Every structure is written in structure tokens, then in C-alpha cells.
């Protein structure tokens, strides 16, 4: 059974409350429940959310040390700003899929640049929460 982590960055704990016209009404707990339901037989899922860059970086290093098989990350705003998060992803040597709930290419110009995408094997953007499901499916096939 593969071990796959799902990491969420800043403000994703506000899903369901924050800009529901962009991010929908489902909460982070709803997403975790849906992923567990779909992949219970195929993967051991580990969920982590933090509004703090260092906590995400520490978690990525811990996942690498624990020999996880893959990582799904929605770095939130850190996607567009954090060289440190990018470096952590590169040094972990984990197959990583970057997920964005909204289509970042239809958003503000500053959101259209991802510093972390080059450290990932794939990027999924604009599929809503289904993007997380697609990312896990991809990692299970890899």
C-alpha cells in the first residue's frame, strides 16, 4: 500500500468560508473525508495543513525521511512566493503533484507564476477539489 501525503498551505483551513465563489463550499475536512473514502483500499493517506511556511518545510523533510511514496501539495500563496518551499520539495526527492483548486491562469497576474511547480512531476489547476483526487490517482499509478 502506497503512502501518500496531502499538504495544504495558508488559508486552506478556511475552505468553505473563504471566497466560496472561487473555492466552493466544501471544507478541508470534507475533502479529507472524500479522499479517505475513495482511496482507503489503495493508499495510506497523511493529511497536514499549516499557515506557516516552516511547518510545511519540516513536514516535507519528515515525509522524505519516512519514505513516503508521493506528495500532493497545495501551497496556497507560498506557491507564488517561496523559494524555501521549492527547495524543500526538490531536496525531498518525492514524486509531487501541485494542486490548485482554482484556475490560476484566470486569476491575478501574480498568481499565474508558480515557484514550486518546477519541483513537481505534474500540476493540476482549475478542477476544484477533484484536482486532489486526480493527483492521488496519478501518484498511485506512478
> Cβ distance 75 to 82 under 8 Å?
yes
- State the residue for C-alpha cell 473555492: 23
Which residues have a catalytic role annotated? 23, 100
pLDDT of residue 24: 82
pLDDT of residue 142: 86
* pLDDT on residue 16: 92
pLDDT tens profile 14-49: 999 988 888 889 999 999 999 999 999 999 999 999
DSSP secondary structure code for residue 116 in this structure: S
Flag residues of the chain having pLDDT under 50: none
CATH code for the structural domain at 2-141? 3.40.50.9100
Amino acid at each position: 500500500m502506497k503512502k501518500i501525503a496531502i499538504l495544504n498551505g495558508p488559508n486552506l483551513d478556511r475552505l468553505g468560508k473563504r471566497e466560496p465563489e472561487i473555492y466552493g463550499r466544501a471544507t478541508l475536512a470534507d475533502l479529507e473525508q472524500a479522499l479517505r473514502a475513495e482511496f482507503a483500499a489503495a493508499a495510506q493517506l497523511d493529511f497536514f495543513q499549516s499557515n506557516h511556511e516552516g511547518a510545511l518545510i519540516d513536514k516535507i523533510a519528515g515525509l522524505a525521511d519516512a519514505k513516503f511514496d508521493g506528495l500532493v501539495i497545495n501551497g496556497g500563496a507560498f506557491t507564488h512566493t517561496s523559494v524555501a518551499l521549492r527547495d524543500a520539495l526538490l531536496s525531498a526527492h518525492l514524486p509531487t503533484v501541485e494542486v490548485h483548486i482554482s484556475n490560476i491562469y484566470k486569476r491575478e497576474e501574480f498568481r499565474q507564476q508558480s515557484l514550486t511547480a518546477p519541483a513537481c512531476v505534474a500540476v493540476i489547476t482549475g478542477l476544484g477539489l477533484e484536482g486532489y483526487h486526480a493527483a492521488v490517482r496519478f501518484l498511485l499509478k506512478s
